[in-house]
Amino acid sequence: MVFRKPPDGGWGWVIVAVSFFTQFLCYGSPLAVGVLYLEWLDAFGEGKGKTAWVGSLANGIGLLASPVCSICVSSFGARPVAIFSGFMVAGGLMMSSFAPNIYFLYVSYGIVVGLGCGLLYTATVTITCQYFDKHRGLALGLISTGSSVGLFIYAALQRELIELYGLDGCLLIVGALSLNILACGSLMRPLESSSSPPPEKMCVDKVPDQYFVYHEKEKTIEENISILEKGYIDEKCVNNVPDCKHDSILNKNVLSSVNINEKDTYKKKVVEQTNFCKQLAKRKWQLYLTYWKETMVLFKNKVFSALFVAILLFDIGGFPPSLLMEDVARSANISEDDYYMPLISIIGIMTTVGKLILGILADFKWVNTLYLYVTTLLMTGVALFAIPFAKSYLTLAMLSGILGFLTGNWSIFPYVTTKTVGIEKLTHAYGILMFFAGLGNSLGPPIVGWFYDWTQEYDTAFYFSGFCVLLGGFLLLLAALPCWNACTNQSSKLPPNTYSYKVASNA
């Protein structure tokens, strides 16, 4: 499929709008799952670690399955995937209202809703990139705020719906709202000018067709020759009996020579087709080997290896507050009368502000994005260490705002990845990092919940979370220090096609 030049406007702004609302509708409930987490604790009476798996799966499974999501969008297109995923999200939410136990929620809310969100995220980003080139950063920034706005609104909305209609009614209504994704998906008109397959695919498809045509041709020739032979022999036998035997032998010799030539040509075609298939399989195998070799080369870059560890530890320690902060407030015996706004809503709105401000800072030439990202990691670790000392709504609200703002460092993470591995390897490296980010999202809340089940308080859990984030930040900082680069350059040269992050360069 050949795409025409991105219009950078026109219908592209409609794509931005529907992508924004798609992320708003699909990510609103999973990101604000902390409100539902409290109700599930009371409804099923399971431990905090086991219950936390529901929200962590919903947020992590989409990242873990990002390669599968990319293949689906590439194969079927953004519009069909968005419509199908809308049914998945809405159906998963509605099924969750009938959950008899926590294990049913693992499938209905954790896997079905989470996988649907992952597919929708890939579809919205892909079609937005197709429609924009010069203004691609602005377009992606606008649609990425949809999830943060969804977190802000859904946290209060789900809390109000639970008070009015109960947990089951809340999930049914939220699932019905998610059906609006179908309308958004139907507006994702594909940007394409022709549907001609690539040259390699044409060659593969033509080989069976040529064989089929040749086979039919061979059959036709044999049938025609046998008919002519029969008619000619019959005529000869009637007119001149002595010549009948001689002509019959002569025609058989001619027919056998024709069949031998046709069969030789057929065998030649089969051999050519077999050789072509062998070459195609060999080329595919070489592509797989090249992929793994490039992956190993990426990990030889010490900054990329430190970045991989940092993103994994950051999601293990930094994601749980957005899921567990409401339960932290309840564990601190904070009265509901003191609640002016759900803590998760504060995290959501400050995440939006953080994405915008940090993204703007990253555009300044005098700002190094790697140091900026490391700073957000270290500050996040300090804020997590401070949570056990917060015993009032005001202090928890302040820490929630700080953590939400620092979580906005997702907007500068692609900048850091690009400067670390180069634009040529961005897609490969970013896919690997997102997989481990999803792994951290899936493991973080259950680990914190298990710490609570073990100690019956959140203090040890958040000390552990803060230590994880600080460890990742310090490792990334050490890997990027100029003195470390100088020592490494003196001892050995970097492998080819790798990029060392120069701290003095501007991001």
380 and 277 co-located in one domain: yes
CA distance linking residue 290 with residue 427, whole number of Å: 15
Question: Which of the 8 DSSP states describes residue 44?
Answer: H
Lowest average pLDDT, out of 29-43, 73-87, 322-336, goes to 322-336
CA distance linking residue 396 with residue 80, whole number of Å: 43
Q: What is residue 194's three-state secondary structure? A: strand
In a domain, 304, yes or no: yes
In a domain, 502, yes or no: no
CA distance linking residue 61 with residue 258, whole number of Å: 63
CA distance linking residue 209 with residue 2, whole number of Å: 24
CA distance linking residue 148 with residue 69, whole number of Å: 22
CA distance linking residue 239 with residue 237, whole number of Å: 6
In a domain, 174, yes or no: yes
Average pLDDT over residues 351-356: 85
**How much is the pLDDT for 109?**
94
**How much is the pLDDT for 249?**
54
455 and 365 co-located in one domain: yes
In a domain, 379, yes or no: yes
- Alpha helices by DSSP H, listed for 65-135, are 66-76, 78-96, 102-105, 114-131
- The model's pLDDT over 187-245, given as tens digits with 9 standing for 90+, comes to 998 876 544 444 444 444 444 444 444 444 444 444 444 544 445 445 444 444 445 44
Q: Do 52 and 323 contact (CB within 8 A), yes or no?
A: yes
Q: Burial, 350: exposed, middle or buried (Cβ in 10 Å; 0-12, 13-18, 19+)?
A: buried
Q: What is residue 494's three-state secondary structure? A: coil
Average pLDDT over residues 243-259: 52
Question: Which of the 8 DSSP states describes residue 40?
Answer: H
Average pLDDT over residues 168-189: 93
Among residues of the chain, what percentage have pLDDT more than 90? 24
Average pLDDT over residues 323-340: 77
Lowest average pLDDT, out of 37-46, 169-178, 266-275, goes to 266-275
- Is the pLDDT at 348 greater than 90? The verdict is no
CA distance linking residue 258 with residue 249, whole number of Å: 14
CA distance linking residue 186 with residue 78, whole number of Å: 10
Beta bridge partners of 194: 2
Q: What is residue 109's three-state secondary structure? A: helix
| Alpha-carbon distances of 463 from 276, 309, 387, rounded to whole Å | 60, 19, 9
- Is the pLDDT at 165 greater than 80? The verdict is yes
- The model's pLDDT over 100-131, given as tens digits with 9 standing for 90+, comes to 999 999 999 999 999 999 899 888 888 887 88
**How much is the pLDDT for 204?**
42
Most confident of 40-44, 46-50, 219-223: 40-44
Q: Which domain holds residue 395?
A: 273-484
43 and 178 co-located in one domain: yes
The total of other beta-carbon atoms located within 10 Å of residue 205's CB is 11
The token duo for 111 is: 């896997």
**How much is the pLDDT for 91?**
95
CA distance linking residue 421 with residue 298, whole number of Å: 7
322 and 438 co-located in one domain: yes
CA distance linking residue 109 with residue 326, whole number of Å: 19
In a domain, 59, yes or no: yes
- Is the pLDDT at 287 greater than 90? The verdict is no
**How much is the pLDDT for 214?**
40
In a domain, 492, yes or no: no
Among residues of the chain, what percentage have pLDDT more than 70? 72
Lowest average pLDDT, out of 274-278, 333-337, 446-450, goes to 274-278
**How much is the pLDDT for 241?**
47
- Is the pLDDT at 318 greater than 90? The verdict is no
Residues 6+ apart with CB under 8 A from 116: 26, 85, 86, 88, 89, 92
End position of a domain, from candidates 135, 167, 193 = 193
286 and 155 co-located in one domain: no
**How much is the pLDDT for 390?**
86
Q: What are phi and psi of 194, to 5 degrees?
A: -155, 155
61 and 189 co-located in one domain: yes
End position of a domain, from candidates 166, 193, 220 = 193
The token duo for 477 is: 């900082």
Domains in the chain, number: 2
Question: Which of the 8 DSSP states describes residue 2?
Answer: B
Q: What are phi and psi of 2, to 5 degrees?
A: -105, 125
295 and 150 co-located in one domain: no
CATH of the domain at 84: 1.20.1250.20
- The model's pLDDT over 457-502, given as tens digits with 9 standing for 90+, comes to 888 888 999 999 999 999 999 888 775 554 444 444 444 444 344 4
The total of other beta-carbon atoms located within 10 Å of residue 70's CB is 17
Q: Give the residue with greater pLDDT, 97 vs 364.
A: 97
Q: What angle do CA 239, 245, 248 make, to 5 degrees?
A: 95
DSSP string, 61-73: HHHHTHHHHHHHH
pTM, rounded to two decimals: 0.66
CA 213 to chain centre: 43
CA distance linking residue 488 with residue 427, whole number of Å: 26
442 and 330 co-located in one domain: yes
- Is the pLDDT at 141 greater than 80? The verdict is no
Q: What angle do CA 198, 199, 203 make, to 5 degrees?
A: 120
Indicate the average pLDDT of the chain. 77
280 and 164 co-located in one domain: no
Q: What is residue 192's three-state secondary structure? A: coil
Average pLDDT over residues 370-386: 92
CA distance linking residue 43 with residue 424, whole number of Å: 50
**How much is the pLDDT for 19?**
92
DSSP string, 375-410: HHHHHHHHHHHHGGG--SHHHHHHHHHHHHHHHGGG
310 and 164 co-located in one domain: no
The token duo for 272 is: 């050519």
* Helix 114-131 vs helix 136-178: crossing angle, to nearest 10: 140
160 and 292 co-located in one domain: no
